């Protein structure tokens, strides 16, 4: 999965070194006098202080709620940062699915499998709901089909995020044929759509082979870990947690 993001520039804040003088140069016999020093940084701005409190709260909630999820693997993959769609307050993400194509071996059941995958994720009733659009020009997400990928993959999701790690737009491409040439069967297409929709919502890969988000998809339904991870993700703010 490829990501597009803005370039971020980090500025180092100059530090002020403070020395602490001895109270006395004559230490009693048998005692050691120790001088300590400190480092003073610029004070937090109100927004920076609030952000640090938010990070601490996220770390606490992760510690309490991450069992049964693979969100720790996601944090390791993204340098301790999470990305997701903002809450849309009842306005669903509108998904357009390519209705037909002249690719060899393509058939209507492929598009139906994608619709079933959308229903599976939407049934979790996340703060971001999913709906279908018949008009590609007014859709938020486009799902299209190609013959095959040059790489040994069967699906790809591209999404963009802003500097606060909110996902802003995304598209999915699904292959009709495996890299080695054979067509995907209907169940495999639905499973690949489930996997790519997981990426669309903000999930990354997991080493758990029983999850739909494993790099090599061997299952055909969402696992309990898939459900627990996406639900936890959508209770947390995006961005770095360290």
What whole-number distance in Å separates Cα of residue 23 and Cα of residue 19?
12
Q: How far is CA 49 from CA 15, 55, 61, 163, in A?
A: 18, 10, 19, 18
- Mapping DSSP to helix (H, G, I), strand (E, B) and coil, where does residue 32 land? coil
**134-186: per-residue pLDDT in tens?**
999 999 999 999 999 999 999 999 999 999 999 999 999 999 999 988 999 99
Query: What is the per-residue pLDDT across 28-74, written as a single tens digit (0 to 9) for each?
Result: 555 555 555 566 666 657 766 766 677 777 777 787 878 999 999 99
Name all domains of the chain by residue range, CATH numbers in brackets.
Answer: 70-240 (3.40.390.10)
Q: What is the pLDDT of residue 78?
A: 86
Say if CB 117 and CB 110 are below 8 A apart: no
Per-residue burial over 180-217, b = 16 or more CB atoms within 10 Å of its CB, e = otherwise: eeebbeeebbbbbbbbbbbbbbbbbbbeeeebbbbeeb
The token pair at 147 is: 């013959």
User: Model's pTM, two decimal places?
Assistant: 0.78
Query: pLDDT by residue (tens digit) across 194-225?
Result: 999 999 999 999 999 999 999 999 999 999 99
pLDDT digits (tens, 9 = 90+) for 111-136: 999 999 999 999 999 999 999 999 99
């Amino acid at each position: 999965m490829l990501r597009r993001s803005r370039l971020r520039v980090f500025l180092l804040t100059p530090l002020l070194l403070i020395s602490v003088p001895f109270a006395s140069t004559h230490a009693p016999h048998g005692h050691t006098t120790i001088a300590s020093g400190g480092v003073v940084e610029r004070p937090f701005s109100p927004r920076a202080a609030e952000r640090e409190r938010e990070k601490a709260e996220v770390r606490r909630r992760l510690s309490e709620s991450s069992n049964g999820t693979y969100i720790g693997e996601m944090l390791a993959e993204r340098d301790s940062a999470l990305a997701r769609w903002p809450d849309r307050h009842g306005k669903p993400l509108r998904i357009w699915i390519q209705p037909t194509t002249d690719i060899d071996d393509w058939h209507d059941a492929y598009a139906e499998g994608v619709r079933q995958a959308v229903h599976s994720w939407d049934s979790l009733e996340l703060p971001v709901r999913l709906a279908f659009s018949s008009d590609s020009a007014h859709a938020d997400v486009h799902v299209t089909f190609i013959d095959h990928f040059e790489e040994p993959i069967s699906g790809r999701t591209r999404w963009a995020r802003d500097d606060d790690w909110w996902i802003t737009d995304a598209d999915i491409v699904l292959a009709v044929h495996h890299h080695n040439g054979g067509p995907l069967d209907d169940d495999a297409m639905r499973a690949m759509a489930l996997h790519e929709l997981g990426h669309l919502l903000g999930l990354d890969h997991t080493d758990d082979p029983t999850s739909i988000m494993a790099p090599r998809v061997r299952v055909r339904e969402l696992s309990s870990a898939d459900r627990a991870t996406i639900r936890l993700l959508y209770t947390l703010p995006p961005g770095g947690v360290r």
